Amino acid sequence: MSGDGRIDKDTRGGFGDTIAAVSTAPGEGGIGIIRISGSRALEILGQVFEPKSKLKGGGSYGWSSSDGGNFSERRIYYGYIAEPASGERVDEVLCFYMRGPRSYTGEDVCEIQCHGGGVPLRRILGLVCECGAVPAQPGEFTKRAFLNGRLDLAQAGAVIDLIRSKTERGYIAAREQAEGRLSERVREARGVLLDVLAEIAAMIDYPEEYVGVVSGSGEDCGAHDFGDMDGALAHVEEIVCELLEGAAAGRVVRDGVRIVIVGKPNVGKSSLFNALAREDAAIVTAAPGTTRDALEVWLDVRGVPVLLIDTAGMREGVGLDEVERLGIERAQEQYERADVCLFVLDGSEPLSEEDSRIARDLDSAKKHIVVVNKGDLGKVVSPEDVETLLGGNAGFRIQDLGFSGQGKGQETDSIDRENLAELEERLAEVLLGGVSAGASLLVTKARHKALLESAAAELKEARSALDSGAAAEFFEVNIRAARGALGEIIGEEVTDDVIDRVFEEFCVGK
C-alpha cells in the first residue's frame, strides 16, 4: 500500500510482488500444480524450466531461457524443472503461460504441473521462490482477481464455496454466485436506486422546478409526481425480499446441519442411523447399551449436507459402568450441539417412564422429528400417545417437532425404503424451512444476508417517508444507505477490513 492508502501496482497492471503457491491439495496425487502470478512470473519460469525438445542447432521451440520472453502464450510446454545453478533435474513437468489481463488474476500467470506429492512440490516451489517469487497468502490469487476487476466481491467469495461444497446443490448455489447471478440482481437494484437518487438531486438542486411533493400514495402535495419513484423503490424492495427468502436455506445448503438421534436404549437408533447412512456404520444387536460412543457420518439429504450422529441410549439408574455413563454424557452433549433432533420411540411397546424423562428434557427451542420405530413388530404406540408424551412439556410446540398437518408423528421402519424416503423429505422440509433445495439463487453467506436485511430496512423507511409526504432530503439518506449496503455485497462500496475478512477463510493457492 502507498502512503495515501492506494494499492501499488507495477507497470504490467499487477501488484509489486510476484507470488507463488501450491494450488493442489496436500497429500499424494497424480498431478501437483504450482501457480505463479505477477509481472515476473514468466521470467521466473524461464529460470527453472528446461524444455525437452530442441530445434536443430540447439535452440528450443521459440523459448528463451534467459527471461522467458519468447515463451508462447497459452501453449503447453513439456520438459523439466531444474536447479538454475547446477542444472540438476528436479521433476518432469508440463507448464504454460497466460498473459494478463487474460488470466485468472488479471496478471501474468504461469502454472507448472508436476508429479503430485510433497517432495517435488516443495522443491519446485522452493526454487521458484529462490528466483524471486514470494509465498502467496491464503486466497491471494482470488483477491488479486477481485482487485484487478476480474471478479466482483460476491463472485470472489463464492470461489471458496465451490471448493468446499459438500453436495451437488451446494455446488450449484456457489457456481451461480461465481457466475455473477447474485451480482446481476444486486446491480439491477443499485441501478434503480441510482436513478432515484439522481432525480432527488435534481429536485434539491433545482427547487424552482419542483414546487411540492406528491406522496407515494398519490396525494397531491405540489407539482412533482412521486408515483414512479415509489414504484421504483417497490421494485428494489421486491428484489431484496426475493433474495432474502432463500437466505436461511442457503446457509443450510452451504454449511450443513448437525442432526442427532436420541432415545432410550434398544429403540432402534443405530438401525435408523445405518439406514440413513446406507451402510452398516453402527453395530446393531438386541442387547441394550451396544452403542457406547457417538458415531458420525456425512449425508446428502435432498441437497443439504447433514452430519448425522448416533448416540448411546439415554437412561438413568444404578449399576451402569463407567463407559456407559460417559456414553450417556456424550449423548447429552451431542444433543445440545445439534440443530435438529430425531427422537426415536419404540412403537412396538407402550411408552415408558424413560421415554417421558427424555421428552421432558428436550429443548423446546430446538427442531425435532419424532420417529416411531419398529412398526413391523406390531404397532402399540398411537399418535395420540406421542402427543400426550410431548404435550406435558412446558412451552413445547408440537408443530415444531416434525408432525404433519394433522399432528401425526413420522413413522418409519428402519429398513423400509418408502418410509425412509418420507423421513428424509420431512427432514428436508424442517431444514430448509419450506424453501426447495433446488431453488435457484440461494444467498449462502451470513454477511450477504445481513446486508440485504439492512437494505430492506432502509427501503422500508424510505417508502414510509415518501408515503407521508416528507421532504426528499429525509428519505434520500435511507436510499443512499440501502444502495451502500447492496454495494458492499459486490465490493463496489467496501473497506479493506471487509475485503480481508472475505479472503481470510480461503486456502493457500486459490
In tens, the pLDDT along 240-281 reads 999 998 888 888 888 888 999 888 887 778 888 888 887 655
- Answer yes or no: is 390 within a domain: yes
Q: Which of 121, 136, 151 corresponds to the end of one domain? A: 136
* Confidence at 323, pLDDT banded by 50, 70, 90: low
Domain final residue, candidates 406, 432, 458: 432
pLDDT at 225 over 70: no
410-411: strand order across its sheet? 295-301, 304-310, 257-262, 340-346, 367-373, 410-411
Q: What is the grid cell recorded at 169?
A: 446443490
* pLDDT at residue 477 is higher than 60: yes
Question: In 392-471, which ranges are continuous DSSP H helix?
Answer: 417-432, 446-467
Predicted confidence (pLDDT) per residue in 482-498, tens digit: 999 999 999 998 888 88
Beta carbons of 180 and 477 less than 8 angstroms apart: no
**Is 66 strand, coil or helix?**
coil
Query: What is the structure's pLDDT at 13?
Result: 42
- Evaluate whether residue 107 is within a structural domain: yes
Whether 428 is covered by a domain: the verdict is yes
CATH code of the domain covering residue 80: 3.30.1360.120
Residue 353 confidence (pLDDT): 84
Average pLDDT estimate for 126-153: 93
**What's the full length of the chain, in residues?**
510
For the chain, the distance separating the N- and C-terminal CA atoms, rounded to the nearest angstrom, is 22
The whole-number pLDDT of residue 336 equals 86
Provide the pLDDT for residue 413. Answer: 43
The number of folded domains in the chain is 2
For residues 145 and 154, give the distance between their C-alpha atoms in angstroms, rounded to a whole number. 12
pLDDT per residue over 343-355, tens digit each? 888 877 888 888 8
Strands (DSSP E) contained in 171-283 are: 257-262
Q: Which pLDDT score is estimated for 395?
A: 34
C-alpha distances in Å from residue 345, one per residue of 271, 359, 404, 409, 411: 13, 10, 17, 10, 10
The domain containing residue 313 runs over which residues? 251-432
Least confident interval from 59-68, 80-89, 125-134, 215-224: 215-224
Decide which of 387, 405, 432 is a domain's last residue. 432
Q: Cα angle at 41 between 154 and 108, to 5 degrees?
A: 45
- Which CATH number does the domain housing residue 350 bear? 3.40.50.300
Gap between the Cα atoms of 246 and 443, Å rounded? 6
pLDDT single digits (tens) 287-307: 444 454 568 888 888 888 889
Most confident segment among 65-74, 201-210, 404-413, 453-462: 453-462
pTM of structure: 0.75
CA-based max dimension of the chain: 93
**pLDDT value at 61 more than 80:** no
**pLDDT of the residue at 407:** 32
